[in-house]
Each structure stands twice: as structure tokens, then as C-alpha cells.
Amino acid sequence: MIEFRDVHKYYGDYHALRGITGTIRPGEFFSLLGPSGCGKTTLLRTIAGFEDISSGAVLVDGRDMAGVPANKRPTNMVFQSYAIFPHLSVAQNVGFGLRKDARSTAEKEKAVAEALEMVGLKGYGGRAAHALSGGQRQRVALARALILKPKVLLLDEPLSALDKKMREQMQMELIKLQRQVGITFILVTHDQEEALVMSDRIAVMFEGEIAQLADPETLYRRPGSRKVADFIGTMNFLPAKVLEEGADAVEVDAAGFGRIHIEARQVMGGKTDEGATVGFRPETLTILYEGSAAADRESMATIEEVVYFGDMTYYDVRIDGTDAPVRISMRNVFGRPVLDIGARARVGWSPGALVLFR
Ligand SMILES: Nc1ncnc2c1ncn2[C@@H]1O[C@H](COP(=O)(O)OP(=O)(O)O)[C@@H](O)[C@H]1O
Ligand SMILES: [Mg+2]
């Protein structure tokens, strides 16, 4: 549906996009995720036709977009700053793109009403746009884009101006809306949680390059590099020494864990000067209480920090034989006490949940 072929973009001397290659499938909810300044907006704008590329190609539906102006592309963009017209009514804002449309006034009114219903603003057409809340303005901007029936909707950090609760609500509504209309959504966000929650697939970008393009679970479970692992969620790292290397697995000795057999699919590339490192998510380690089911492997540890969240507790624990604490997240269970700082604990883990970076 959308294909990037070795796309480069220079702003003067500045190399903003450094060889972007990848495909976005029809009907998918796709996110461009990365820290501020990594080139997300620039890449999105190359699809929309607001930005020329320096070399490479952007194809939509197999057609090279070089020289195709923005208004002739099957895409529509919703901007970070909504850009709605405050002096117009909600209906006038939503119907703005239909001004030159040949349809009758009645047909246009029907289209506006449908678009408003789609975004949960049924009956709001007569309201003044300036009197709307932030969340409602965002819905108006969405309706105004959807009414043009684009094949691809481009969303540049559309929820970043909303407070946490409203943002979470709009995330759910956007997912539902995308399923309902079935068109491709491409979302730009710097918020890893937002990307994980909303996307079918995510391109993680750093400094003008795609570091990894995968579905949320793969990004979380098998991040391709330490940098991706660090950007998405929390990951613990422990230094490791490679003992034996086979085609199917690698044997390592990791501080505090002893000898571990790691399957080839859990071994990530991107060799660094730091040497081999074992990585694991906080929930893949468990504190074993009296009567807990046995774990594959066990280590002893000391609790160094306790952060209580109600439903969860985060423990920073020092595994015996290691120099730095690692974080463990535990779901709290009624009747089971939260451990104190300084307590000794048995920690259970499974080699299958570990990733080796090397
Ligand atoms: N029009 C421009 N002229 C010069 N540099 C730009 C321009 N637009 C963006 N940049 C630079 O390109 C880089 C990527 O910007 P952008 O795509 O907006 O990043 P993101 O959306 O990921 O925050 C940034 O360093 C930014 O300063
Ligand atoms: Mg941006």
C-alpha cells in the first residue's frame, strides 16, 4: 500500500531521513515511534506530499508519488495543532473540504452528520467551534479529514495536547474508528505506550533511521537492539560472557544467573563495544513466596527499593553476585504482604524469557 524505498531527506546539510525502507499494509494501524527530532513528522509529510525527498521513492498503491501534489494524493492529514477554524461552526469546519464538491447541499449535510456521528459528536453541528473542549476539537479535526474519504489517514501526534484521561479515551475511540472505517491509519507518536496500545505494527525510529519495524509484541519481547529495548518499556540488563556458540543456541554465563542456554531466536544482533548483555522485562522475574510453584531457575536476591502502585508493586532487587539492582514487577494479591526493603527473597525466572544482546 505504502512503500518507502531508501528514502533520504536533507534540510540543507542536515540529513533528516537516512535511508528509510519499509512497507505499510492496507488497512493497518501503523505507528511511527521515536524520540523528538528523529524524523517522524518529516517521514509522514513525505507521504502527504508536504515534503520533497532528496532521493529514493515513496509509493502509494504501487504508484511513485514523485511530483504528485498533496491535493492529488489519496491521503489526508490530521495535525498536532488541530487547525480548526474557531469562527466557523462545527458543521462548517467538518464540511470545509467539501466546498468545491459537486454534491447537493442536502447530500453534503448528510455527509457532515455522518462524519460527526462517527467521531461521537452527533448533534454538535450547530455549535461554535471555539466553544469546544480540546478533546472535542480533536474529534472535529478527525471528522473533517474522514469526510474526504482518504485511503490513508495521517495523524501527527493528534493526542499530545490532551490530558492523560482524555488521551486514553481517545486512543480507544481511534482504534474503534479505524476498525469501523477500515482505512490505513499512520500515527506519529513519541509515546511508546500509546504506540503499543494502538498499533498493528510500529516502526521505531532513531536519528532518521528505522531501528526496527514489527508488531508490538515482537518489539516488546524481542527488541532488535538494546536501544529499542530501552525505548520501549523497561528492560533490565546484566552483563554476560559467551561460553559456547551453536547454530541453534548460545550458552552464556550471566552475572547472578549462572550458565544459561539461550535459543537463537532470542539472540539479538547489533554488536556493541559493551560486550554481551542479557536482557529481561520486569514481569519475567517473579518473587517466590512460600508455597509458590517452582520456577525453572532460581536466584537469591535482596530487596533494595519498593514502589507500591496498588495493583502492582515494583521491587528493585540486587541478585546475589551482581553489581546493580534490577527491577521486578509483581501483581499484588490480596492477603499477600508487600515485602520490605532489606528483605531476602527467592527470585524465579525462565531462560526462555531472556534475550541476549551482543
Ligand atoms: N524545515 C526544516 N528545516 C530544517 N530542519 C528541519 C526542518 N524540519 C525538520 N527539521 C529537522 O529535522 C529533524 C527531524 O524533524 P521532525 O521530522 O520534525 O522530527 P520528529 O517529528 O520526529 O520530532 C529535526 O532535527 C528537525 O530539527
Ligand atoms: Mg514531529
Q: Could you read off the pLDDT of 97-132 as tens digits, one per residue?
A: 888 888 999 999 999 999 999 888 999 999 999 888
> Do the domain assignments include residue 18?
yes
> Which bound ligand lies closest to the C-alpha atom of 36?
1
> Which bound ligand lies closest to the C-alpha atom of 80?
2
Q: Are 196 and 47 found together in one domain?
A: yes
Q: Which residue has the higher pLDDT, 77 or 238?
A: 238
Kindly give the distance from the C-alpha atom of residue 223 to the centroid of ligand 2, in angstroms, as a whole number: 23
> Do the domain assignments include residue 137?
yes
Q: Are 16 and 106 found together in one domain?
A: yes
Taking a 5 Å cut-off on Cβ, the residues next to ion ligand 2 are: 41
- Over 80: is that where the pLDDT of 68 sits? yes
* pLDDT (0 to 100) of residue 203: 98
Q: Are 189 and 246 found together in one domain?
A: no
Q: Are 111 and 159 found together in one domain?
A: yes
> Do the domain assignments include residue 230?
no
For residue 149, the domain's CATH number is: 3.40.50.300
> Do the domain assignments include residue 47?
yes
Which atom number of ligand 1 is nearest to the Cα of residue 157?
Answer: 21
For residue 327, the domain's CATH number is: 2.40.50.140
What pLDDT band is residue 166 in, cutting at 50, 70 and 90? confident
> Do the domain assignments include residue 232?
no
* b/e burial code for range 193-228 (CB count within 10 A of at least 16 → b): ebbbebbbbbbbbbebbbbbbbebeebbebbbbbbb
The preferred substitution site among 14, 188, 210 for testing ligand 1, maximizing ligand atoms within 8 Å of CB, is 14
Q: Are 208 and 241 found together in one domain?
A: no
Q: Are 296 and 155 found together in one domain?
A: no
The preferred substitution site among 7, 8, 9, 11 for testing ligand 1, maximizing ligand atoms within 8 Å of CB, is 11
For residue 268, give its domain range: 237-358
Specify the number of domains making up the chain: 2
* pLDDT (0 to 100) of residue 317: 97
- Over 80: is that where the pLDDT of 312 sits? yes
Length, in residues, of the chain: 358
* pLDDT (0 to 100) of residue 273: 63
> Do the domain assignments include residue 226?
no
Q: Are 154 and 24 found together in one domain?
A: yes
Q: Are 56 and 27 found together in one domain?
A: yes
* pLDDT (0 to 100) of residue 270: 58
* pLDDT (0 to 100) of residue 322: 92
> Which bound ligand lies closest to the C-alpha atom of 43?
1
* pLDDT (0 to 100) of residue 272: 61
Q: Are 245 and 97 found together in one domain?
A: no
Pocket lining for ligand 1, CB < 6 angstroms: 11, 14, 16, 34, 36-42
> Do the domain assignments include residue 231?
no
Q: Are 47 and 156 found together in one domain?
A: yes
Which atom number of ligand 1 is nearest to the Cα of residue 39?
Answer: 17
Q: Are 143 and 195 found together in one domain?
A: yes
Of 187, 221, 255, the residue at which a domain comes to its end is 221
Kindly give the distance from the C-alpha atom of residue 47 to the centroid of ligand 2, in angstroms, as a whole number: 14
Q: Are 257 and 143 found together in one domain?
A: no
> Do the domain assignments include residue 199?
yes
Which atom number of ligand 1 is nearest to the Cα of residue 35?
Answer: 22
Q: Whose C-alpha lies nearest to ligand 1, atom 24?
A: 37
